[in-house]
Structure 1
Amino acid sequence: MSGTRAFRAAATGARLVTGAIVAGACVVAVVFGVTASWPSVEHKPASAEVTPLPGDTVLVCNGDFRAIGRDPANPFQMVTAGSPALSAAGSSGTADSTPLVADDLAEGGSAQRLVGEVEGREAPLLAATESISLAAEDLSGLAAAPCRPASQDSWIVGGSVQTGAEDLIVLTNPGVVPSTVTLVAHGSVRASRTVIVPAESQSAVPLTSLAAGSDLPMVHVTATGSPVRAVLQSSLTRTLDPAGVDLQDAVSAPQQHAVLPGVRLFETQGDSGDSTVVRLMSPDADAQAVVTVNALGSAAIAGTFDVPLTAGTPTELSLSALSPGEYTVRVDSDTPVLSAVRQQEGGGPRDDFAWVMPAPEIDDEVLAAVPLGPAPRLVLVNTADADVTVQVEPVTGGDPIDVDVAAGSSSSIEVRPRTVYSVKGSGPIHASVTMTDTGALAVWPLWPAAGTQQSITVYP
């Protein structure tokens, strides 16, 4: 029996040793398997790169300039003060024009919708600008504005509800369905209003009906159902004398780095010491803005101003400390802000004023339509670190002009009224068109062409 026990003990020990070895091998195999690369099976979904067809280029013009208060028995009635002169051209020929009815004008009126049809897979370049010169007992001055696409979200930065100001927010719906438009006024008085703009029509809302009592009103415009074109029509009367008119385009959104070309400071007269001011507002958060002013044609800084901003509260900065002349204003902020510059020719009757809006960056060919008006000039600004050469050429034929714009500087050239130009730079630029004469001021920025359609990935 003792031999049998010894045999069994030896067998049991062998089994234990063998089990330990096998278990250890399993542990090593698991560790190695976890860290080692294993073959994988990958299934890639079928996909295709597709470039959507671009839509037609559609521009909306402002149409007739409105007069309000001409009938003492009906002071809120709006009538046509005059129809503008239109200059337009496109890369694919003459655009189709459709009238948009202004039902709220007592004697009737209309604006124009311009459509450049797609050719092949490319949307055509199209540019149009309106201008009007007024010399009536209640309205005097020059107003000009480009025709622009409609938008579902935009901001009116300028405007006034002070005594003598008659400002109207003109809303144009070029679509085939009605648009519900919400207007929200920001400033010392905050208010909102909703209006319905019927399909293919235009209507206007007095700024005083929305922002009465507000010192520096700004208005956020949002549209549902159909996008609208929003423009601020402004007029000013001092005592009983007209003192200017203007058409101010809306901006699409606040910016952290805004460039405003074509600002002019005039000799101050009488009580017009603040004839040129920068209006600013940060809609969403407190901000610190820096306003930098450069003389036209120079990279040297003529003035720098630090402006603290409280969220939702507009403020203004006077540029009266600077010498009279032509300037570019830049606004840089740590958060997106709204900005515009108001320039006033003088403080007397039959003077004029104009709002200067930020000019977006242009890095491709655009068309610039110059309407009827005095002494038009194209102002070009280069904020980059390298020099830029800009070619300016009439689309109907003529010798091109090459304009060299030094890094961080600006330049301007004379252009002809009632002419459309092709403008193309060797690098990004900002540009505005200005018109200046006694009792006549107008400034408006050039906008990039409609963006090219980008490819998208489609998964069946």
Structure 2
Amino acid sequence: MHKEENDAGTPAASSPAPSEGVGVRSEERAKPAKKGRRPARRGMVTGLLSAVAILAAGGGLVSAASLAPQPASDRRLEIPLASVPAGSSQDVCPGPAKLLEGTPVGTDPQFSPVSATARSSVSAAVVSAAGGSLPGSRLSALGGSELLRIADVPGSATAPAGASGQLAGIVAQRSVEDVSVLSADALGNRQPSAAAVMNYTATDGDLQGSAAAACQAPSNDLWLTGANTAVGRSSVLNMTNASTTPATVSLELFGKSGQIKAPGSRGLLVAPKSTRSIVLAGLAPGEERLSVHARSTGGPVSAFIQQSVLRGLTPGGVDFIAPGTAPAARQVMTGIDIQDPDGLAALTAAPGYLDAAPSLQITVPGPIDAVVEVKLFGSAGQKALPGGGVVTAKAGTVTEVPLAGVPAGQYTVSATSDVTIVAGARVNRGLKASQSSDFGWAPSTAQLGSQHVVPVPQDGERLLVFGALDDRATISYTPITADGKLRPAASANIAGGTTTSLKVPAEIGKSPVVAYVVSASGGAAYGTVLLEREGRNDVSTVAIAPGAEGQEKVKVTLGQ
């Protein structure tokens, strides 16, 4: 390294030659020696002696170093970590569901007006630290115009005295007409605790049903599972760039027969503060199961797939497919609501209803086939799948595993593989072909930690569903009401290998429940929000967003 620096910069000083004499001025060397006097030779002798002394000293140093205790050869130096200042959070909420108009040319969609009963709203919560202040926060349109101020500049609102010493800022069922963004500022060098959910409902039209998704932190690498471009199914990929930097997105598509090389799937430009919609049937037509890997350079993006089903003239539901966790050897999905097995068997026997049953889809992005063990955990423990639960998923393909055939109830699904996989699970409501039905996709989620903010919509039946895999786990959940108060916390003790469902009450203390703060301890636990509606077949699942972290540390790479 030093040689490269000297080659590129100031020349390194060379060692003096013995003939020049160490410690002799250049003008003395230039004078010819007088007869009978030998000053130059004395200088040479002096130089040689000095050089010998220097070499001897160096040899002593080398010998001393060689005799000194040396570090073990297998000792590894820790990679240094550098603290990164906390930044503001920005969660992008999908826009309302829109009906495709006719058959689009290429991949650019044209939308027709939505039904008269369609409603789209955002619910959100921002929570202060214990005894702290509420961070500055707001709900805005994608272009930047403010829809609702939650809290002013950081520190302007402080937590009241109480058991928790915390304060919450609330967005309760705010109507939206397009993509919206929840922003919260960092406070005290800590990431803000904030989360939002977008909820769509309609009781008529081709897009009747319910669709909900947790608002999403933008990323440069996203995996989405559950798209379908077969006849009667429409899949629209909506990519939003909420930053001020252009984003260039490339898509990798995986189908039931392998990876799909689609012209027009690379180099898709998403301008700053804009959304780009892609009809996936224009890239991969006739695919009954389709996974999308979206990677962006430049600005990060959020991505949702609007998926809908129309069986002849009968609406089959609508949903927002959200990204799941990155490829891993284990993927977990919870909130899988399974209906009566006999009713499901009769329904799926009808033409066009094969995808009206719960199932797990597994994508293998690598070049090696995966051997996957699928386990289903209900309230009474593990339930065996009719097919045995062990499947081989081919490399580069999307494999479907039916989840029907077990007693009705809420379940947690675990898929463990010998290679990394991506997974998502489908839930369905409705058992009669003559009636409208609905479906929802549960993305794979990360293990629960502490301080997860979990907003819930204001209407319908709302369930918090938690699953513990191997060991017993304890879930603490603190309700947040519309008046901004954090109510007394409760806890649920979940045995390993089981799933627990908790019904969200409409009110606490005469104030509507709008969110929870959830923390988990003990064994690995996972959670989701399951949304249904009494008297209808509406169903949606909403993943619990990651909890806020303290000061982030990143690895520092030491280069030359």
Question: Common fold, TM-score beyond 0.5?
Answer: yes
The answer to whether residue 151 in structure 2 is matched with residue 100 in structure 1 is no
C-alpha contact (below 8 Å) 1:101/1:110 kept by paired residues: no
How far 1:301 moved relative to its partner? 3.3
The answer to whether residue 374 in structure 2 is matched with residue 276 in structure 1 is no
The answer to whether residue 369 in structure 2 is matched with residue 286 in structure 1 is yes
The answer to whether residue 534 in structure 2 is matched with residue 443 in structure 1 is no
Normalising by structure 2, we get a TM-score of: 0.69
* 1:58 alignment counterpart: 90
Q: Distance in 1 between matches of 2:241 and 2:515?
A: 26
Aligned AA (2:189): R
Report the number of matched residues. Answer: 417
Aligned AA (1:62): P
Percent of aligned pairs sharing the same letter: 25
Q: 2:316 aligns with which of 222, 243, 257?
A: 243
The answer to whether residue 391 in structure 2 is matched with residue 307 in structure 1 is yes
Q: Distance in 2 between matches of 1:223 and 1:390?
A: 37
How far 1:237 moved relative to its partner? 0.6
How far 1:109 moved relative to its partner? 5.5
Deviations 1:83-113 (A, max 9, x none): 52111111235622331259xxxxx963112
Q: 2:189 aligns with which of 121, 124, 138?
A: 121
Q: Distance in 1 between matches of 2:105 and 2:291?
A: 31
Which stretch of structure 1 is more off in the superposition, 147-156 or 272-281? 272-281
The answer for unaligned runs of 5 or more in structure 1 is 1-29, 41-46, 103-107
Query: Alpha carbons of 1:452 and 1:311: their partners in 2 closer, same or farther (altered >3 Å)?
Result: farther
Q: Distance in 1 between matches of 2:218 and 2:325?
A: 10
The answer to whether residue 425 in structure 2 is matched with residue 341 in structure 1 is yes
What SS does the corresponding residue of 2:179 show, helix, strand or coil? strand
Deviations 1:313-357 (A, max 9, x none): 111111232233222111011111111111222344321111122
Which stretch of structure 1 is more off in the superposition, 76-85 or 164-173? 76-85
C-alpha contact (below 8 Å) 2:324/2:423 kept by paired residues: no
Q: Distance in 2 between matches of 1:198 and 1:344?
A: 36
The answer to whether residue 307 in structure 2 is matched with residue 229 in structure 1 is no
The answer to whether residue 405 in structure 2 is matched with residue 405 in structure 1 is no
C-alpha contact (below 8 Å) 2:325/2:422 kept by paired residues: no
* 1:322 alignment counterpart: 406
Normalising by structure 1, we get a TM-score of: 0.83
RMSD: 3.1
Q: Distance in 1 between matches of 2:218 and 2:69?
A: 55
Written as runs of structure 1 = structure 2, the 5 A alignment for 1:27-426 is: 37-38=67-68, 50-69=82-101, 76-79=109-112, 81=114, 82=118, 84-91=120-127, 92=134, 95-100=137-142, 110-187=178-255, 188=257, 190-192=260-262, 193-194=265-266, 195-266=268-339, 267-268=343-344, 269-270=346-347, 271=350, 272=353, 275-284=357-366, 285-295=368-378, 297-303=379-385, 304-346=388-430, 347-394=433-480, 396-416=485-505, 419-426=514-521
Aligned AA (2:518): V
Q: Distance in 2 between matches of 1:68 and 1:433?
A: 28
How far 1:455 moved relative to its partner? 4.1
C-alpha contact (below 8 Å) 1:343/1:353 kept by paired residues: yes
Q: Distance in 2 between matches of 1:140 and 1:394?
A: 30
How far 1:252 moved relative to its partner? 4.0
Query: Alpha carbons of 1:152 and 1:73: their partners in 2 closer, same or farther (altered >3 Å)?
Result: closer
C-alpha contact (below 8 Å) 1:362/1:447 kept by paired residues: no
Which stretch of structure 1 is more off in the superposition, 68-77 or 183-192? 68-77
Q: Distance in 2 between matches of 1:397 and 1:387?
A: 23
What SS does the corresponding residue of 1:376 show, helix, strand or coil? strand
C-alpha contact (below 8 Å) 1:373/1:435 kept by paired residues: no
What SS does the corresponding residue of 1:158 show, helix, strand or coil? strand
Q: Distance in 1 between matches of 2:407 and 2:500?
A: 19
C-alpha contact (below 8 Å) 1:279/1:317 kept by paired residues: yes
